[in-house]
Structure 1
């Protein structure tokens, strides 16, 4: 990441008014960066966010995890794959401990609550752009509540959302570009970690414990 010069960002949120407010704050000189941060694209769903990051390889992605088309964890995993230098900062209204824990473990560089004043976000962004990581105090407190079950990997979380959405192993494999056998291994691993013995039990446990992104299409 560059130490000087102008940073580029993508804002991903399914609410236009939120994207507009964040764009204004980012681009205003002196608000966050002396020269402002150039917003090169906006996205209103998860697939658009992934495509925009592949196309622009931005310095920063401001991401809401409650968007249509692709869940928050799925977007994080794909952005890390296609644009590994992008700093991913999540701004969310989600508070379920399972989801917050998974976002932290996925390696996001910043995690902030929509329920808080944006001043903390704006104050921390310069450091995050330069290699720091920050989790809002609200979520540090949430993480003090140990979620039930062993934590899932980013890929397992991705597959879990697709299972909840009703996709078969073959469909999941085709979407992720992996074999159906690999999908089955991930499914078995999830069930062992969560101590469940059938797909309906897996789905019920995941929904009860907040282990599924709210944006998953059920």
Structure 2
């Protein structure tokens, strides 16, 4: 048998999910005639970033909600360290805000964990060859939901810290910026999201999935 043409990294904090994906990828004929070699598995975001830097895989299958670094952070690092890697997100997230952000981030594939993997398996060959695919359920979700304003990286960091209960001074110290700048970010967030109090801001962020699920920043 020929050596697989493609190789992959699987990043998910559930071992059973990683095992199922590995079996599907490596079995000849399931995705590719010769299979796809899984060169590494990662159970958290930091491991995923390290595996990307080491292996520069053809494919990264990535969960959004992992410890230590969220899926979007891993995606940014993937584009930095391994720009040719096709990034496919397999997620249980259903918040329209988060799904819209993932689509806007330029992922190569986006699929739901709540559905069977037939669509994922069927679409991986074309994704590996340069096409993009967003699962039909997510496309419908976005069509039925008003667009959520996109946040800058700094606004997102500020929002995470606001939700965690930090004061302007604490946020400033964490991010290495002035309290005045933090206040400006807070004001911009409230304007973008059309809310009028910190309580409304937090409620909106939680409802729309706009915060990093991991406790670390």
TM above 0.5, one fold?
Answer: yes
Say whether 1:207 aligns with 2:206.
yes
> Residue 114 of structure 2 aligns with which residue?
115
Q: Matches of 1:186 and 1:59 in 2, distance apart?
A: 37
**TM-score when normalising by structure 2:** 0.83
> Residue 151 of structure 1 aligns with which residue?
150
> Residue 16 of structure 2 aligns with which residue?
17
Structure 1 residues 201 and 33: CA distance shift in structure 2, 3 A: same
Q: Matches of 2:106 and 2:185 in 1, distance apart?
A: 20
Alignment of 1:31-50 (within 5 A): 31-50=30-49
**TM-score when normalising by structure 1:** 0.83
If asked which structure has higher relative contact order (CA below 8 Å, sep 6+), I would say 1
Pairwise CA distance, 1:15: 0.7
Segment of structure 1 superposing worse, 10-19 or 65-74: 65-74
Say whether 1:169 aligns with 2:172.
yes
SS at match of 2:64: coil
Structure 1 residues 87 and 217: CA distance shift in structure 2, 3 A: same
Pairwise CA distance, 1:31: 1.0
Say whether 1:216 aligns with 2:214.
yes
Pairwise CA distance, 1:180: 6.2
Pairwise CA distance, 1:200: 4.9
Q: Matches of 2:165 and 2:77 in 1, distance apart?
A: 21
Equivalent residues, number: 209
Structure 1 residues 194 and 94: CA distance shift in structure 2, 3 A: same
Given that 2:97 and 2:148 are in contact with CA atoms closer than 8 Å, whether structure 1 keeps it comes out as no
Pairwise CA distance, 1:78: 2.2
Pairwise CA distance, 1:217: 2.1
SS at match of 1:111: strand
Given that 1:28 and 1:36 are in contact with CA atoms closer than 8 Å, whether structure 2 keeps it comes out as yes
Structure 1 gaps, min length 5: 174-178
Structure 1 residues 180 and 59: CA distance shift in structure 2, 3 A: farther
Alignment of 1:170-189 (within 5 A): 170-173=173-176, 184=182, 188-189=187-188
* RMSD of aligned residue pairs (Cα, Å): 2.7
Structure 2 gaps, min length 5: none
Structure 1 residues 209 and 41: CA distance shift in structure 2, 3 A: same
SS at match of 1:143: helix
Pairwise CA distance, 1:165: 4.2
Given that 2:4 and 2:36 are in contact with CA atoms closer than 8 Å, whether structure 1 keeps it comes out as no
